[in-house]
Amino acid sequence: MAITSLVISKEAVNLNNNSPNHYSGYGNVIAGRVMAIIGMVLSSIFLIFVIIKYALVGMYFLAINKLFD
């Protein structure tokens, strides 16, 4: 969703730059863009956390498996 929001906000910024008197609510575009960036950063952090978690769980089960062999 964040990537889609960034693409749409880029189009809105371009429309506003081409005819600034025609459009209003430019602050909402900037706020949406900031929220999209924050969402992308949080999603990336969560994805890294999940990858590390499953890597650690996998190493734990490999260590237990070697103990019982």
Reading the chain (69 residues) residue by residue, the pLDDT tens digits are: 888 999 999 999 999 899 888 888 889 999 999 999 999 999 999 999 999 999 999 999 888 888 776
pLDDT of 63 reads 87
SS3 24: coil
Q: How open is the CA angle 21-35-8, to the nearest 5 degrees?
A: 50
pLDDT of residue 37: 95
3 state DSSP class of 52: helix
Burial class (CB in 10 A: 0-12, 13-18, 19+), 18: exposed
Q: State the pLDDT at residue 34.
A: 95
Contacts of 15 (CB under 8 A, 6+ apart): 23
